[in-house]
Amino acid sequence: DGGWVRVLPTRVVVPTAEAMHVFGAALAAQLRAGDIVLASGDLGAGKTTLAQGIGRGLGVDGPVISPTFVLARRHAGSGGRPGLVHVDAYRLGSAAELIDLDLDETMDQAVTVIEWGAGIAEDLGGSHLDVDIRRSEDPTDETRVVYVEGFGPRWQGVDLSPLSELPFD
Ligand code: ADP
Ligand code: MG
């Protein structure tokens, strides 16, 4: 349908918050300017922690903190890597409101990570990477299981399966 290409999801077991940083940094190595990452998962799942790891991988200087109250934060990359646009879409009703933030040009030159972005994915058009973070049923278990799945031509033929074999320890 309309050229949407589905790539098999990659499942990654992420044991700790630091491992989520390592995972985000490894994912960032696969990302380029214009890419959109939609991070989903419950409150406290680790979406912001993932964004911090992606920021680390892009060489972002300074803290990547939740953009809940400002909706979006921009961070410059370093070493020739793209910057990071970090969006919290929880209070955005639609992709139109995201576009109203006037981020389009910035997004072309950066990796955009959108927390709570799953609901606006269809409106964004183009390609995106879904990163779905699941907590354990057991509240004492910090392990997260992450599903990474590319949608659209950008991700056709991109093999993300090495992400499931990261050495976290
Ligand atoms: P969200 O943005 O999804 O609401 P945050 O990233 O802000 O979630 O919070 C996740 C919390 O869970 C952080 O305090 C983080 O340190 C903690 N944490 C513990 N284990 C993990 C893990 N395996 N992956 C990600 N975060 C973890
Ligand atoms: Mg968050």
Beta bridge partners of 94: none
Cα dihedral across residues 161, 27, 46, 96: positive or negative? negative
Residue 8: the pLDDT is: 66
Atom of ligand 1 nearest to the CA of 50: 6
Which ligand number lies closest to the CA of residue 20?
1
**Substitution candidate for ligand 1 out of 21, 49, 68, 140 with most atoms within 8 A of CB:** 49
Cβ contacts of 105 within 8 Å, gap of 6 or more: none
CB of 72 sitting under 6 A from ligand 1 = no
- 72: CB partners within 8 A, 6+ apart: 85, 86, 87, 88, 101, 103
For 41-143, strand residue ranges (E) read: 72-75, 83-88, 110-115, 128-135
Q: Kindly list the protein residues that place their beta carbon closer than 5 angstroms to ligand 2, a single-atom ion.
A: 47-48, 66, 115
**ipTM of model:** 0.99
pLDDT tens across the length of the chain (169 residues): 556 655 568 999 999 999 999 999 999 999 999 999 999 999 999 999 999 999 999 999 989 998 876 688 999 999 999 999 999 888 777 777 776 777 777 888 999 999 988 777 777 778 999 999 999 999 899 999 999 999 999 999 899 999 999 998 7
User: CA 67, 71, 72 angle in degrees (round to 5)?
Assistant: 70
E-assigned strand segments in 68-126: 72-75, 83-88, 110-115
**Which protein residue's CA is at the shortest distance from atom 11 of ligand 1?**
44
* CA-based R_g, the chain, Å: 15
Judge if pTM exceeds 0.95.
Answer: no
Task: Considering every ligand atom shown, identify the ligand nearest to the alpha carbon of residue 90 and give its number.
Answer: 2
Sheet strands side by side (includes 83-88): 10-14, 144-151, 128-135, 36-40, 110-115, 83-88, 72-75
pLDDT of residue 144: 98
Give, using CA atoms, the residue closest to atom 17 of ligand 1. Answer: 17
* Cα 61 to ligand 1 centre (Å): 20
Q: Check pocket membership of 113 for ligand 1, CB cut-off 6 A.
A: no
pLDDT at position 3: 64
- The pLDDT value recorded for residue 107 is 85
Work out the end-to-end distance of the chain between its first and last CA atoms, rounded to an integer number of angstroms: 42
